[in-house]
Amino acid sequence: MRPPLLRVLPLLAGLLPVALAAQGRPVRRPPVTPPKPAPAPAAALPALAIPLARVRGEVFDSVGLAPLADATVQFVETADPAKVRSIRTDSLGEFTLDSVRVGTYLVGVIHPQVDRLGLENRVVQVRVAASGDVTLPLGTPSPATLLAMACNDAGPGLARGAFMGLVRTARGTPLEGPARVRAQYNETTVTPAGVQRRFPARFADANSTGAFVVCGVPPDATITTRAYAGRDSSGVVELRVPYHGLLVRDLIISSPQRVTDAGGADARGRTVLRGTGRVKGTVRDAGGKPLAGARVSLPGSAAETATASGGQFSLGGLPGGSWMLEARAVGFEPQRVAVDILDSAETVAEVAMTGLTPTVDTVRVRADRWTQEMAGFESRRKMGGGYFLDDAALSRRNAQFSADILRGVPGVTITPGGAGRDRVTMRGSAGAGTCVPEVFVNGMRTPVPDGIVDNLVQPQDIRAVEVYSRLGSMPIEYQSRNGCGSIVIWTGARRPPP
């Protein structure tokens, strides 16, 4: 029986060399090389840990002096700009972004307040150098920095204030055309010819997003403003510029319906403005107590109502836009507040009324004697060369502020200053432009670089004033160092009338 093939092949392999040698054909066998040992399997390398950081921070609005809530903070990797991560701030303006790779980022903030301030394209470069917790504070620049950025090249002679914001439609739709903003304020100047009152106006064009900046408005003053674009416009709104000089506020525009009011015999034929907006709110006194029976109206719309027992009121059918809401009550000063009315929406407004202040006679304090220190004052007045106000003239003026004493004095100009105070200036020796005069109090030179003498002395403490507007007429002891005039103020009790 023939064996299986698997058992034959080994045998043939052993007999073949022998058979080849028996036939006289020697066969050389190759040297046998021992097999190399198989290398041991390499140990698995540990995976490289990617350093990650946790970024915490707060976005603060330096203009509104409050955290910037519901703002979007974006992180863009500079090495790969396609990688963008976003996080929103909470009600406290805080945010936390986990698993941030170590590297360099461009960080920006998205919020309507950022657009109002013209900072929508500004980013900061941040380097995350190590893993762990990283603190990143963000915020808007200060009012002084924003004023320098926006109005640095506004031109000489303009007030160092600005009004900026967004022009928006009451419909919530984009602007239909170029928008423009007009701002006007009161400027009172006293000259030898008398009191002159001017109402300068400033204009600014808004960009495609509605952002605008009106430079040259006075700080700590009230302005009247209005915005318009195509057929849309706002009402005339009164706004107060803060003491730091930067007013930030939006203006709402719309196209209200113009109808003929037929509400009463005295109102027939009058055109009023109508719309779909609503305003509700509460009228309170200075102590926060609700006022019942106060009359609330929106001038121009013929809408008027009386507050309920809890001080609440509600007005409907109002035109969209920014308008002035007016409240009146017996025994209180009329109050006007700016409101923004949107189409088919309800606006909430709170009105605080101030009680009427009773007027009393001025309390006059009389001195027992006229001091000898005023002898020099009388001597210089006899010599002339200046403008002199003695105690009798001051009593007749009965000024409430120190700057009011100098109103009407030849060569002196009074203009609005900061913090509700007026600024005292004179014309320079060259004849062009104005300057701040030298001020002497009781014979001592007292620098007043801003020209606000109200911060120096109270009017009831002044008993005499000398004003020298020409350099050639100044006494040598009261010479000006800056080429401007001099004002000499004497304090103390005023002498009684003869």
pLDDT of residue 498: 57
Three-class DSSP labels, 42-97: CCCCCCCCCCEEEEEEEEEECCCCEECCCCEEEEEECCCCCCEEEEECCCCCEEEE
CATH number of the domain to which 472 belongs: 2.170.130.10
443 vs 115, higher pLDDT: 115
Note whether residue 498 is domain-resident: no
Note whether residue 393 is domain-resident: yes
Model confidence band, residue 160 (pLDDT cutoffs 50, 70, 90):
confident
> 1-15, 283-297, 373-387 — which one is most confidently predicted on average?
283-297
Cα(164)–Cα(247) distance, integer angstroms: 6
116-120, 356-360, 468-472: segment of lowest average pLDDT: 356-360
- The residue among 429, 432, 425 whose CA lies nearest residue 409 is 425
Query: 71 and 116 in one domain?
Result: yes
One-letter amino acid at 373 equals E
Model confidence band, residue 47 (pLDDT cutoffs 50, 70, 90):
low
Alpha-carbon dihedral 436, 440, 444, 447, rounded to 10 degrees? -20
One-letter amino acid at 495 equals R
Note whether residue 117 is domain-resident: yes
Note whether residue 1 is domain-resident: no
Radius of gyration of the chain (CA): 41
Task: Indicate if the pLDDT at residue 331 is higher than 90.
Answer: no
| Cβ atoms of 327 and 294 closer than 8 Å | yes
Average pLDDT for the chain: 82
pLDDT of residue 123: 92
| Cβ atoms of 204 and 214 closer than 8 Å | yes
Note whether residue 38 is domain-resident: no
What is the mean predicted confidence (pLDDT) over 69-98? 94
How many separate domains does the chain show? 4
3 state SS of 293:
coil
Cα(168)–Cα(290) distance, integer angstroms: 33
| Cβ atoms of 459 and 400 closer than 8 Å | yes
Query: 277 and 204 in one domain?
Result: no
412 vs 270, higher pLDDT: 412
Tell me what percent of the residues of the chain surpass a pLDDT of 70: 80
59 vs 16, higher pLDDT: 59
Calculate the alpha carbon distances from 103 to 100, 117, 308 in Å. Answer: 9, 30, 62
Q: Of 121, 139, 157, which one is at a domain's C-terminal end?
A: 139
Task: Indicate if the pLDDT at residue 5 is higher than 50.
Answer: no
3 state SS of 130:
coil
Query: Cβ of 398: how many Cβ atoms within 10 Å?
Result: 12
What is the mean predicted confidence (pLDDT) over 394-419? 83
What is the mean predicted confidence (pLDDT) over 350-359? 79
Query: 154 and 135 in one domain?
Result: no
What is the mean predicted confidence (pLDDT) over 249-258? 93
Query: 248 and 177 in one domain?
Result: yes
Query: 483 and 377 in one domain?
Result: yes
Cα(200)–Cα(215) distance, integer angstroms: 12
Q: Of 139, 174, 202, which one is at a domain's C-terminal end?
A: 139
Helix (H) or strand (E) holding 12: helix 5-22
Cα(107)–Cα(122) distance, integer angstroms: 9
Query: 150 and 116 in one domain?
Result: no
Task: Indicate if the pLDDT at residue 29 is higher than 70.
Answer: no
Query: 223 and 115 in one domain?
Result: no
- pLDDT per residue over 458-480, tens digit each? 888 888 999 988 777 788 788 87
- pLDDT per residue over 205-234, tens digit each? 999 899 999 999 999 999 999 999 988 999
Note whether residue 337 is domain-resident: yes
Long-range contacts, 291-297 (Cβ 8 Å, 24+) = 291/329, 291/332, 291/353, 293/329, 293/330, 294/327, 294/328, 294/329, 294/332, 294/351, 294/353, 295/327, 295/328, 295/329, 296/325, 296/326, 296/327, 296/351, 297/325, 297/326
- The residue among 402, 430, 279, 257 whose CA lies nearest residue 341 is 279
Query: 157 and 86 in one domain?
Result: no
Q: Of 219, 253, 287, which one is at a domain's C-terminal end?
A: 253
Cα(349)–Cα(301) distance, integer angstroms: 17
Query: 174 and 157 in one domain?
Result: yes
Model confidence band, residue 246 (pLDDT cutoffs 50, 70, 90):
very high
Query: 126 and 149 in one domain?
Result: no
| Cβ atoms of 71 and 96 closer than 8 Å | no
Model confidence band, residue 371 (pLDDT cutoffs 50, 70, 90):
low
Task: Indicate if the pLDDT at residue 6 is higher than 60.
Answer: no
| Cβ atoms of 394 and 491 closer than 8 Å | no
CATH number of the domain to which 304 belongs: 2.60.40.1120
Range of the domain at 133: 52-139
404 vs 3, higher pLDDT: 404
Note whether residue 37 is domain-resident: no
| Cβ atoms of 303 and 348 closer than 8 Å | no
Task: Indicate if the pLDDT at residue 367 is higher than 60.
Answer: no
- The residue among 292, 291, 317 whose CA lies nearest residue 303 is 317
Query: 450 and 378 in one domain?
Result: yes
Query: 436 and 339 in one domain?
Result: no
Note whether residue 8 is domain-resident: no
pLDDT of residue 90: 96
